[in-house]
Amino acid sequence: MPYAVNILGTITVALCAILLLRSYFKKRTRLLLWSGLCFAGLTLSNALLFIDLAVVPHISLYTWRLGAAAASILLLLYGLVFESDS
């Protein structure tokens, strides 16, 4: 059951990323791009969480998960700070 929650969470974040990027390609609003890239990175982080807990529990992917999440949040922060006026 906990694995199903991880998989559903990953699918949900991936769907958000797809919808944001699809909307970016239609409207060309830069903030949608940064948000979509953030959610794509969070999808990677959630996928790494599932792999870490279910597939290879003997190997720690904590650093990779944290790095992917931090890079994703930094992308969104960059978009919010530098691209919010356009």
State the pLDDT at residue 1.
Answer: 80
pLDDT (tens digit, 9 = 90+) per residue, 8-57? 999 999 999 999 999 999 999 999 999 999 999 999 999 999 999 999 99
Q: pTM for the complete prediction?
A: 0.91
Q: Give the C-alpha separation, 57 to 59, whole Å.
A: 5
Q: Give the C-alpha separation, 1 to 86, whole Å.
A: 44
Closest C-alpha among 2, 12, 72 to residue 64: 72
Q: What does the block give as tokens for 21?
A: 């990027």
